[in-house]
Amino acid sequence: MDREIRAILASVIHPETEENLVDGGFVDSITATDEKITVALRFRKSRDPFAIKIKNRVEQLITELYPDATVTIFIKQVDNSTSKRKEQIEQMHKNTTTSTVAKVVAIASGKGGVGKSTVTSNLAVALAKEGYKVGVLDADIYGPSQSKMFGVEGYLPDAVQVDGQDYIVPAEVENIKIISIAMFIRPTDALLWRGTMANSALRQLIHQTMWGELDYLLIDLPPGTGDIHLSIISELKIDGAVIVSTPQQVAVADVVRGVEMFRNPNVNIPVLGVIENMAWFTPAELPNNRYYIFGQGGAARYAESAGVDLLGQIPIIQAIMEGSDSGKPAVWSVSEVEKHYRQAAQKVVEKLMKEC
């Protein structure tokens, strides 16, 4: 099977270098079974203008030959950007005040159910795929779901002592470190955990988790804007906030409150931008149609009017929901989802670089 896939790759020519993908060294790895084919491509330029076109062509050709397999083609980070990236990361770590964690990003939403937790987990995977060291802190006391999203439900964190200090060991999935308030409470007790108890538990998670060295720590905040947000925000030096919303007017109205909270002079956290989730739906049998189930572009319009960046628009995709339910964020394996999140992750990285 590898040989057939290699033959396909050898039939695709890079328009600029005029080499085929195999001889030109564009193939990083091939893993193939009857059910699943994954090909990693590597381009010499960090933003090769033909990369996406070539990726799509390869995907199409392999899918034509193996229609029953799940085909994933992804582009690996190029080598010549590695040193630049290393420099950027070193610079980030120099600017940090949160020990070994370079940048802390809060993921917020005006209301529940808009996909904030789903966006957090998929963004974490997208950043990890870009080569960053990533951690996720699930501070959503109203509905902690990161353990489920990463398939580590039931994980009981160990406590360790280092130099006389107590630390909590986070779960780790594919290099992403995860700690959640749900690892410390039974779901049935969650309601009792509001208020001071939740605050002190969160404070412990924030300060005592053994993250090691991280480039990005994503915090899944509880939905809404309230006291708990202010206390989390004041515990951690948050470098930027991403606000998730669906396009619906009622959801957008809550985004306004979220932006105001972060921009409040006492809080003063840069709003990196808005991610519009569930922006549209495209049925598989009508790939060119977009159905704007929750209205069209509401969050996008708000972002423009409030001078906030639109970091991405994520459509409704069944694989996203399935990934969350099965403990494997879809960015890992579904190229269409990865495409959307990679763009959003790159925008988050760029915005953070500018803000600091």
- Asked if 228 touches ligand ADP (CB under 6 A), the answer is no
- Asked if 146 touches ligand ADP (CB under 6 A), the answer is no
Q: Which of residues 46-105 bind ligand ADP (CB under 6 A)?
A: none
Distance between CA atoms of residues 171 and 152, nearest Å: 7
Return all residues near 307 (Cβ < 8 A) that are at least 6 apart: none
**What are the tokens at 59?**
């995907």
Binding mask 169-208 for ligand ADP (x = CB under 6 A): ----------------------------------------
| Binding-site member from 9, 311, 320, 352 for ligand ADP (CB under 6 A) | 320
Of 96 and 117, CB closest to ligand ADP: 117
Contact window for ligand ADP (CB under 6 A) among 111-119, 164-172, 183-191, 247-255: 111-119
Placement of tokens 């987990």 in the chain: 121
Residue 136 · residue 177 · CB < 8 Å: yes
Of 131 and 143, CB closest to ligand ADP: 143
**What are the tokens at 191?**
């309601």
Quick one: residue 273, left, alpha or beta (phi over 0 = left, psi -120 to 50 = alpha)? left
- Asked if 122 touches ligand ADP (CB under 6 A), the answer is no
- Asked if 353 touches ligand ADP (CB under 6 A), the answer is no
Contact window for ligand ADP (CB under 6 A) among 82-90, 159-167, 233-241, 309-317: 309-317
| Binding-site member from 10, 61, 316, 356 for ligand ADP (CB under 6 A) | 316
Cβ-count burial of 98 within 10 angstroms (0-12 exposed, 13-18 middle, 19+ buried)?
A: middle
- Asked if 113 touches ligand ADP (CB under 6 A), the answer is yes
Contact window for ligand ADP (CB under 6 A) among 39-47, 114-122, 183-191, 231-239: 114-122
Element at 350 (helix H, strand E)? helix 335-355
Residues in the chain: 356
Return all residues near 153 (Cβ < 8 A) that are at least 6 apart: 147, 182, 327
| Binding-site member from 277, 294, 299, 311 for ligand ADP (CB under 6 A) | 277
- Asked if 241 touches ligand ADP (CB under 6 A), the answer is no
Of 114 and 271, CB closest to ligand ADP: 114
| Binding-site member from 78, 190, 201, 317 for ligand ADP (CB under 6 A) | 317
**What are the tokens at 100?**
């070994």
Contact window for ligand ADP (CB under 6 A) among 112-120, 158-166, 190-198, 233-241: 112-120
Give me the helices (H) in 164-236, please. 196-208, 227-235
Give me the helices (H) in 41-81, please. 51-65
| Binding-site member from 62, 114, 242, 334 for ligand ADP (CB under 6 A) | 114
| Binding-site member from 96, 109, 147, 245 for ligand ADP (CB under 6 A) | 109
Distance between CA atoms of residues 139 and 6, nearest Å: 46
Cα-trace Rg, the chain: 21
Of 82 and 249, CB closest to ligand ADP: 249
Work out the angle at residue 59's Cα, subtended by the Cα atoms of residues 280 and 69, and round it to the nearest 5 degrees. 90
| Residue 327 phi, psi dihedral angles, 5° rounding | 85, 20
3-state secondary structure 274-311: EEEEEEEECCCCCCCCCECCCCCCHHHHHHHHHCCCEE
> Which among 89, 143, 94 has a CA at the least distance from the CA of 117?
143
- Asked if 321 touches ligand ADP (CB under 6 A), the answer is yes
- Asked if 145 touches ligand ADP (CB under 6 A), the answer is yes
Minimum distance between the CB of residue 115 and ligand ADP, rounded to whole angstroms? 3
- Asked if 314 touches ligand ADP (CB under 6 A), the answer is yes
| Binding-site member from 103, 116, 229, 342 for ligand ADP (CB under 6 A) | 116
Contact positions toward ligand ADP, by CB under 6 A? 109, 112-118, 143, 145, 223, 277-278, 314, 316-317, 320-321, 324
